[in-house]
Structure 1
Amino acid sequence: MSLLAHGNSISNVEVTNISTHGVWLLAHEKELFMSYDDFPWFKEKTVKSIINVEEQSLDHFYWPDLDVDLTREIIEHPERFPLKSKST
């Protein structure tokens, strides 16, 4: 999250859509799609827990309610990171 001089905050990352197929994340004006097949941790979770996302460093995203930690590279190229944990 960036802080402006006047105290207003502007998030560099936000969830823009949740569907039956996956989650869309907007980060730095680029939309990223996370299918439930590749990112099962989001399936059947509450909207509140999915939209609670933080950018801990540039292109490094964390969902504290889900304890999910992903980078832009993982989201854009899940085939390079085939190990997945089972969703709970």
Structure 2
Amino acid sequence: MKSEKAGTTISDNKTEVTNISSHGIWLFHDSKEYFLSYKQFPWFKKATIKEVTNVEYSSKNHFYWPDLDVDLHLESIENPEKYPLVSKEN
């Protein structure tokens, strides 16, 4: 019996916060980087580095920050003007 070569992982999508600045955060996902400004995504402004960098790719095109209870769809990151805020910053 010959063993087959091991397959690839189910998801090769790498998701991580690559930079945090005084203007916003940069999210890297699937070979692309996205800028999330604090003006459009205020939940990250007062968060700790640990809270911001703890991001999960929870399902297709959804990102979840469990420490902040923030759930964002990729479409809202790419086109934030189409999704006005419905929540206020604490």
What TM-score does the superposition give when structure 2 sets the normalisation length? 0.83
Which amino acid in 1 is paired with 2:59? Answer: S
Runs of 4+ in 1 over 2 A off after TM superposition: none
1:63 corresponds in structure 2 to 65
Q: Residue 27 of structure 2: which of 25, 28, 43 is its match?
A: 25
Unaligned runs of 5+ in 1: none
- Give the percent of matched residue pairs that are identical in Structure 1 and Structure 2: 57
The structure with higher relative contact order (CA 8 Å, sep 6+) is: 1
Structure with greater strand share of residues: 1
Is the counterpart of residue 73 in structure 1 residue 78 in structure 2? no
Please state whether the residue corresponding to 1:85 is helix, strand or coil.
Answer: coil
Q: Residue 87 of structure 2: which of 79, 85, 88 is its match?
A: 85
Aligned residues: 84
Rounded to whole Å, the distance in 1 between the matches of 2:48 and 2:63 is: 18
Unaligned runs of 5+ in 2: 1-5
